[in-house]
Structure 1
Amino acid sequence: MSPAAERILLVDSYDSFTFNLAALCRRAVPDCRIHIIKNDQLTLPDVLSYAQYFSAIIVGPGPGSPDILEDIGVVKDLWTMDKSRMLPIFGVCLGLQSLASEYGARVERLPVVKHGQVSVVEHTGTDIFKGVGVVKAVRYHSLHAELSGSKDLEELAWTFDDDARVTMALKHNKRPYWAVQYHPESILTHGGGIEVMLNFWSLARSWNAAHNRRLRHWDTKASRIFGRPWPNPRIPFTSGHYPASRTVVTSAIRRPDLSVVTVCEFLGVADDRSPFVMLESAAQPGRYTIVGCLHPSSPRITYSIGEDILHFQQGDACSRVALGSHDIWSWTAHFMSQRKASGGLANIPFWGGLVGYLSYELGVESLSLPSTVTAMDNRHPDMNLVFVERSIVLDSMTGTVYIQSIIEGDSKWLADTTKLLRSATQNHSTNIAPSSTNAQTTIILPDSETYKNRIYCAKEHLFAGESYELCLTAPTRVILDDPLSRKSSQTHSLSWQRYKLLRELNPAPYGAYLRLHPTTLLASSPERFLSFTRPPGSTFQLRPIKGTVRKGPDITRAVAERLLRGSPKEVAENLMIVDLIRHDLHHVIGEDVDVKKFCDVEEYSTVWQLVSVIEGKAVKGADGPNSRRANGALGWELLKRSLPPGQYCPALLFPPLCNPLTGSMTGAPKKRSVEILRTLEGGERSVYSGVFGYWCVGGGGDWSVTIRSCFKYDDRYGCEHMPTRCDADVEEWVMGAGGAITALSDPESEWDEMLIKLRSVLRVFGTSVPCRN
């Protein structure tokens, strides 16, 4: 019998970099099988019962303290297991702190928190550092181990924070345990990453051989406990029955003078009674604008978290559909698997498909956190999508307008619409209809003292090692009491007029006007979240932006490079999100993940921005033409696993030089950060800081972060199952804003920065806010 394959047990303490560590292990031992468990998934007896199946254990990083049992779980007991069951262990960050704590060291707070910082690490050149030269290591920690008094541990590496020596690696003198405080899996760790991991495997194999450890062959019992090894692409369940693919029929005309405003108004956007969707690229690097040509029977899907049903609406009929064995994500994947299409132009990103938004809370639900929803009245759906079968796509680069349909026998509509657009007269009107003399506008800002106190609480969580960064947000509400505007809404949509003004004030690469009752969303987002190309061979790309400098006579590329790439704060925050994105990609698609650009300065029409590009590719054959994943289900699964967004998002109003206003939508580690933010923010974010975009019938998709946006609830034209409000003359618009809270954040400055972020959207309502409240 051939020897058993080497297997590694990776213990995940709910961190956001775990799958980067798994990928590093696979680089060191390409043929190994990696099984990942949560630190509270199994007890020590369970682990010991299966220890003989594994060559080694990796104890990953995570939030919290090794002295808190809920944070560390079974890890605490691994370091003191019976010698007869003992096997090599390698700890990272929290892993080092837990090892140190078990053998007499003290775990204390660092004088200065190190999150996303690169430090030069000195080492002994022995054990896991044998043959290793200069180490520049990325640090994500606010706690450290003080080894004085511990007789069993030996320091292998260290660094200096000012004059204070901080342990960066150690080993146990009698047991096969090694650990590092820094993150060897980070994209910016050099010299102490793969080199140290290769040394650990050499030491582990030598120890196993010396102690005559023989691996047990994998069996069905072990498989039931530990599941399939990583990488294991996670694809939503879809039916094995696939109808014949629809055919995309396309007509094209050259109309570089034709604006999206004109197209939308020809299609009846002014009638508030009807749903309407438009995704606009009004600035670089956007190129294509998508207008849905909806008809009365266009299918609508709405879903609210915590429910086991969804609403499926076609025309006036709305059905309550039981999810059954599905969750909402797999149900939607099944829906799309029945509606594949082919034959469209390869250069057009959208042929038809689902368009709409996903809320922040839908992403929270995907983290398996319990719902905090207490009432469903006047609550926005968490998934609100319409299936677009007819569409118009405008290419701003070539001036070409594409008219498309995936409805069989739809040639008459195609011909009529093409003729209409050929003869369309340009319309540039952006006037807002006058309000009545009785109109009242009320702005309800967050309470400033409450917000500042929450910043102090957030910083305490950072100092305690609970998170690397927290994006604290708060909602602002605009109340419009104008009976005249409500009565005239069937022929003159004020929400559309406001969107036209928003796009002029803030032209953005990822804008949207989505009127999907009961929600109307106006968005001018600067940031793409996730895009994926059509299969086979799909590419999945995320482009986080962190850092902005407004252009000016003295702001050359060299100056922008110095201000952006030369800023440790800007680079550290970009690094954090890049590592988080790599983790999300590795989780779903496996090993083929690459950082194409890291902190590159890109030039735009009015600004310089610091951009990173992370790409992943599907495993060969995973999304081939005969695969059930060929409809883009792999991209849909990645979207699910990546929410809520961890992106860094720039403000649209910039001070003259560096923009300090950016922040992630959550923080990292993501799950613990979301848990903390739920206690701090005291309410739902709803549509804000979710995503909006499309999933094409050809298998591609493009989703952007819902920021620089406002949205309202209007149930007058919703489905029959929605409760109706009594006060029909009052509109309430909501917009969210906030910022990334770090250990160095100043509450007064953070409050001022949040107000600045609100200004661009508030101007749409003819009002603004002062810098200080």
Structure 2
Amino acid sequence: MAIEHPRLLLIDSYDSFTFNLASLCKQSIPNCSIYLIRNDTFTISELLPLLKFFSAVIVGPGPGSPENDQDIGVIKDLWKIAEQSLLPVFGVCLGLQSLGVAYGAQLKRLDVVKHGQISHIHHQGVELFHGVGLVEAVRYHSLHVVLEVGCGVEELAWADDGAENGRVVMAVRHTSKPFWAVQYHPESVCTRGGGLEVIQNFWRLAQSWTRKTGRQTLVWNIAVGNAVGDPWQCSPLPSPHTTPSASRPIVSTAVLELPVMTAATVCELFGVSDEKSPFVSLDSAAQPGRFSIIGSLMQSSLQITHFVGDGFLSLTRGRHSVQEDLGRRDVWTWLAEFMATKRVRGGHPDIPFWGGLIGLLSYELGVHSLGVASRERHTRQHPDLNLVFVEHSVVIDSVTGRVFVQSLIPDDSWITDTTSILVKASLEPAKTVPPSFKDSPGTPVVTLPDKCRYIARINEAKERIFAGDSYELCLTARTTISLPSTFSVSGSSSWRRYQALRTKNPAPYSAYIRLHPTTLLSSSPERTVRKAPGITRADAEAALVGSTKEVAENLMIVDLIRHDLHAVVGEDVEVKQFCVVEEYETVWQLVSVIEGRLEPGTYGASDPDSQLGWEMLKRSLPPGSMTGAPKKRSVEILQTLEDHERGIYSGVFGYWCVGGGSDWSVTIRSCFKFDGWEDGPTEDWNIGAGGAITALSDADAEWEEMIVKLTSVVGAFTSCI
């Protein structure tokens, strides 16, 4: 008789693919409930009584070594529980290694690490592989086990790595206990044949063992639920109180047909040249970007700032600032509650932004959300959260040539006044000022990272990867550009520099954001091959899709983002596009698209006021493409390898609309400064750059890649680097 409503206990070792595995189990085992605990939540004596309430245990993957108690936690004791406490267990990656080590297998390093790489898995069609045909599976491991004859654990599947590693164990079973495990990752998006089918076979074997031994799962009770928490599902987050739809304010909008109107022109009409005033512009400077958003800020526009570690936010209007205590809330809950009170109706359906928050979120804000200790700060310059509430905005649609003038303020004459100004400007000859600084006094001083130190840190990162602590580490370093303060006296030098950056490196996700005390200039593409005469799509596909390193990096991040989405929306996450080469104006780029949807009828599925959106943003920070995987362990390692906090760099910038939508871009190919330069002899701009370090990385090539990334930004200041 089949178990109708099985309960599975999934033990997480702080991995970034855990929720992908949970989703795969839900697909494979009908009507199951999955409860997640961390490997350090319980001791084995505390866990044993709880196991009686579960049908099986899943031991998930994770960073580190099964020989390190801090990495493996209670899992090492799970394999040795007494006969009367036995239950079926399925392990993945670290789970297989820990099972093998527990029964005398030798733990070794691979000669050639396999992270994000696909291998053919050989098997004999038995046990986990009963009825399974071809298996092509994704591997994320630098350690492996060599089984001893007669140790009680035997091989079910293997990979043949040839001269690289020889024969590598890929699946095992215990000869007398209900333990099975695989070394590869069945939950990866690119695993074929060895995922769903293998979990289904595990469950068939588990049920067979349960019937044979007569094991009974105890009836659930409240005490067990209190100990292990709720089953994994869509996040039951509270919905902030919102104004009923019918009584919400209406967005006022005027639509103009002005195909010659540019974002730069609108910015200059709105006073971007006044360096002392705040300004925000999200600029689609190249295809496939479409909409440019320009805010027209007022003296009364609300600016919201927060530093990690503070129990309050600062709310500023003009020169007046107050502190609002967070109490027991975090900043994400406060933001959800704030935006719930700002909902409107009647915005134009053809554009993504009607008004709302625009600004910056730092890398350290994400580090804090992960529970990783932040670096000690010697100065408090750039807020970790820096947003402004935009009530007047202009949105330019570069495809249709339409310009949308919008206000959140009822009966606002600003709409009429701005419409007249834009129409008049469109009839005047365009005034262009070449973005050059040759006539400016002083010479920029560019201070690059120390090459020897950076290469040494790359080698340290690779050692941590070889040891199994991470699959990939996005190692970065800071470059500083110093200018005499007089460099900025006449007009807005930061705006002119942004124009130079935009000209040199047009990108679909550019931004000029001046929210004191921070000014950001950004021109943000992701992983690219630079376009040049003679480079065709075939050349780009050979360089990107044909590169084991490039595809492996992309695959790791896709699997990580799937995990983050599964954690919030539940099971319905789909990779719509994987590693497709797209052509941008100045680059070829590998692009993957991952979508997550709440099930219809699920709380929050049709309610953009719910906290789910903010929870998703919180869980996505820091961006996985800027950390590596597993995310938490990678961030902890990077804290020891990098000399400076990242600040604005590798955080995100973007908007949260009063209509409920949002869009955030990773802050790369960017520079930022602290707006206190007038108090000192120089104006200092910071630029972060780096690369994804993997086992395949060449240190000198990684240094050169970082210099190439710097060139486009440094070019906004000088032609020399």
Instruction: Give the TM-score normalised by the residue count of structure 1.
Output: 0.89
What amino acid sits opposite 2:507 in the alignment?
Answer: A
Indicate whether 1:634 and 2:612 are aligned: yes
- 2: CA distance between counterparts of 1:618 and 1:698? 18
- 1: CA distance between counterparts of 2:299 and 2:146? 68
Indicate whether 1:427 and 2:407 are aligned: no
Query: Is the CA contact 2:7–2:32 (under 8 Å) kept in the aligned structure 1?
Result: yes
Query: Is the CA contact 2:283–2:509 (under 8 Å) kept in the aligned structure 1?
Result: yes
Residue 44 of structure 1 corresponds to which residue in structure 2?
A: 44
Query: Please, which runs of 5 or more residues in structure 1 have no aligned partner?
Result: 528-545, 648-664, 717-724
Residue 623 of structure 2 corresponds to which residue in structure 1?
A: 645
Cα deviations by residue, 1:206-236 (Å, 9 ceiling, x for unpaired): 1122222222222221221111111232536
- 1: CA distance between counterparts of 2:555 and 2:286? 26
What amino acid sits opposite 1:254 in the alignment?
Answer: E
What amino acid sits opposite 1:264 in the alignment?
Answer: C
- 1:763 positional shift: 1.1
Within a 5 Å distance, the mapping from 1:274-353 to structure 2 comes to: 274-353=277-356
1:50 alignment partner, SS class: helix
What amino acid sits opposite 1:639 in the alignment?
Answer: L
Residue 119 of structure 2 corresponds to which residue in structure 1?
A: 119
2:324 alignment partner, SS class: strand
Indicate whether 1:699 and 2:660 are aligned: yes
1:698 alignment partner, SS class: coil
- 1: CA distance between counterparts of 2:576 and 2:120? 25
2:469 to 466, 471, 479: 466
- 2: CA distance between counterparts of 1:434 and 1:133? 67
Residue 109 of structure 2 corresponds to which residue in structure 1?
A: 109
Residue 170 of structure 2 corresponds to which residue in structure 1?
A: 168
1:739 alignment partner, SS class: strand
Residue 733 of structure 1 corresponds to which residue in structure 2?
A: 685
Please tell me the root mean square deviation across aligned C-alpha atoms, in Å.
1.9
What amino acid sits opposite 1:429 in the alignment?
Answer: V
More displaced 10-residue stretch of structure 1: 693-702 or 616-625: 616-625
Residue 715 of structure 2 corresponds to which residue in structure 1?
A: 763
Query: Is the CA contact 1:262–1:428 (under 8 Å) kept in the aligned structure 2?
Result: no
Within a 5 Å distance, the mapping from 1:244-255 to structure 2 comes to: 244-255=247-258
Cα deviations by residue, 1:523-557 (Å, 9 ceiling, x for unpaired): 00014xxxxxxxxxxxxxxxxxx45363644x444
1:387 alignment partner, SS class: strand
- 1:46 positional shift: 2.2
- 1:496 positional shift: 0.6
- 2: CA distance between counterparts of 1:584 and 1:431? 41
2:529 to 544, 548, 570: 548
Residue 509 of structure 1 corresponds to which residue in structure 2?
A: 508
Residue 594 of structure 2 corresponds to which residue in structure 1?
A: 614
- 1:431 positional shift: 4.1
Query: Is the CA contact 2:545–2:551 (under 8 Å) kept in the aligned structure 1?
Result: yes
Indicate whether 1:675 and 2:643 are aligned: no
- 1:319 positional shift: 0.6
- 1: CA distance between counterparts of 2:99 and 2:132? 23
Residue 99 of structure 2 corresponds to which residue in structure 1?
A: 99
Cα pair distance change 1:241/1:398, threshold 3 Å = closer
2:541 to 561, 574, 590: 561
Query: Is the CA contact 2:478–2:644 (under 8 Å) kept in the aligned structure 1?
Result: no
Residue 204 of structure 2 corresponds to which residue in structure 1?
A: 202
- 1:428 positional shift: 2.2
Residue 684 of structure 1 corresponds to which residue in structure 2?
A: 645
1:694 alignment partner, SS class: strand
- 1: CA distance between counterparts of 2:423 and 2:8? 63
What amino acid sits opposite 1:638 in the alignment?
Answer: M
- 1:567 positional shift: 2.5
Instruction: Give the TM-score normalised by the residue count of structure 2.
Output: 0.96
Cα pair distance change 1:623/1:343, threshold 3 Å = farther
- 1:45 positional shift: 1.9
Residue 359 of structure 1 corresponds to which residue in structure 2?
A: 362
- 1: CA distance between counterparts of 2:440 and 2:288? 40
1:456 alignment partner, SS class: helix
What amino acid sits opposite 1:507 in the alignment?
Answer: P
- 1:568 positional shift: 2.2
- 2: CA distance between counterparts of 1:100 and 1:547? 41
What amino acid sits opposite 1:233 in the alignment?
Answer: S
Query: Is the CA contact 1:523–1:708 (under 8 Å) kept in the aligned structure 2?
Result: yes
- 1: CA distance between counterparts of 2:522 and 2:591? 21
Within a 5 Å distance, the mapping from 1:2-13 to structure 2 comes to: 5-13=5-13
- 1: CA distance between counterparts of 2:377 and 2:544? 44
Cα pair distance change 1:200/1:42, threshold 3 Å = same
What amino acid sits opposite 2:497 in the alignment?
Answer: R
More displaced 10-residue stretch of structure 1: 320-329 or 740-749: 740-749
Residue 695 of structure 2 corresponds to which residue in structure 1?
A: 743
Residue 90 of structure 1 corresponds to which residue in structure 2?
A: 90
- 2: CA distance between counterparts of 1:557 and 1:242? 51
Cα deviations by residue, 1:681-720 (Å, 9 ceiling, x for unpaired): 022010001110001010101100101100000148xxxx
Query: Is the CA contact 1:236–1:637 (under 8 Å) kept in the aligned structure 2?
Result: no
- 1:613 positional shift: 1.1
- 2: CA distance between counterparts of 1:565 and 1:115? 16
- 2: CA distance between counterparts of 1:270 and 1:30? 62
Query: Is the CA contact 2:549–2:696 (under 8 Å) kept in the aligned structure 1?
Result: no
Residue 720 of structure 1 corresponds to which residue in structure 2?
A: none
Residue 455 of structure 1 corresponds to which residue in structure 2?
A: 458
2:322 alignment partner, SS class: strand
- 1:349 positional shift: 0.2
Residue 661 of structure 1 corresponds to which residue in structure 2?
A: none
- 2: CA distance between counterparts of 1:314 and 1:421? 27
Cα pair distance change 1:85/1:511, threshold 3 Å = same
Residue 753 of structure 1 corresponds to which residue in structure 2?
A: 705
- 1:436 positional shift: 6.0
Residue 522 of structure 1 corresponds to which residue in structure 2?
A: 521
Cα pair distance change 1:523/1:436, threshold 3 Å = closer
- 2: CA distance between counterparts of 1:430 and 1:29? 63
Cα pair distance change 1:557/1:448, threshold 3 Å = closer
Residue 220 of structure 1 corresponds to which residue in structure 2?
A: 222
- 2: CA distance between counterparts of 1:551 and 1:31? 54
Residue 493 of structure 1 corresponds to which residue in structure 2?
A: 492
- 1: CA distance between counterparts of 2:424 and 2:232? 57
1:416 alignment partner, SS class: helix
1:155 alignment partner, SS class: strand
Cα deviations by residue, 1:625-659 (Å, 9 ceiling, x for unpaired): 9x7x4226322211110111112xxxxxxxxxxxx
Aligned residue pairs: how many?
A: 714
- 1:162 positional shift: 1.0
Cα deviations by residue, 1:501-532 (Å, 9 ceiling, x for unpaired): 111111110000000000000000014xxxxx
- 1: CA distance between counterparts of 2:116 and 2:267? 45
1:222 alignment partner, SS class: helix
Query: Is the CA contact 2:239–2:611 (under 8 Å) kept in the aligned structure 1?
Result: no
What amino acid sits opposite 1:421 in the alignment?
Answer: L
What amino acid sits opposite 1:685 in the alignment?
Answer: R
Residue 531 of structure 1 corresponds to which residue in structure 2?
A: none
Residue 237 of structure 2 corresponds to which residue in structure 1?
A: 235
What amino acid sits opposite 1:89 in the alignment?
Answer: V
- 1:313 positional shift: 0.7
- 1: CA distance between counterparts of 2:583 and 2:299? 43
- 1: CA distance between counterparts of 2:461 and 2:499? 37
| % identical aligned pairs | 55
Query: Is the CA contact 1:153–1:173 (under 8 Å) kept in the aligned structure 2?
Result: yes
